[in-house]
Amino acid sequence: MAERFSSYAEFWPHYLREHAQPQTRGIHYAGTMSALLLIGFGIVTGPWWLLLIAPFAGYGPAWISHGFVEKNRPATFTHPVWSLLSDFRMLQLWITGRLEPELRGAGIEPRSR
């Protein structure tokens, strides 16, 4: 049964705990950046099919990482909008070097293996 959250603020620590393994986060970053690049190239250069494959490039690796690395069910299935927002938030925090305090706040040791 899916957990219920009354706000995004409640969901965010749960999302981070579902991405506790550095490998999972890395695969998510690669998938999210690939999807963004495909969307960007599709808009700028014109091949519309790039826009169609972007979700597969983003979600495919992420879902596989949940199955094989985290061994949990992706939050996308129960909280699709909050999960998508959290993918971008996690990536932005990682790029800017501000993810570690968020992970610690969710009870995750950032450098754990």
Can you give the pLDDT at residue 111? 72
Cβ atoms of 18 and 71 within 8 Å: the answer is no
Q: What is the DSSP string of 34-81?
A: HHHHHHHHHHHH--THHHHHHHHHHHHHHHHHIIIII-S--GGGT-HH
The two three-digit tokens of residue 76, written as one number: 């996308």
Can you give the pLDDT at residue 113? 46
Q: pLDDT tens, position by position, for the chain (113 residues)?
A: 567 899 999 999 999 999 999 999 999 999 999 999 999 999 999 899 999 999 999 999 999 999 999 999 999 999 999 999 999 999 999 999 999 999 999 999 877 54
pTM for the predicted model, two decimal places: 0.90
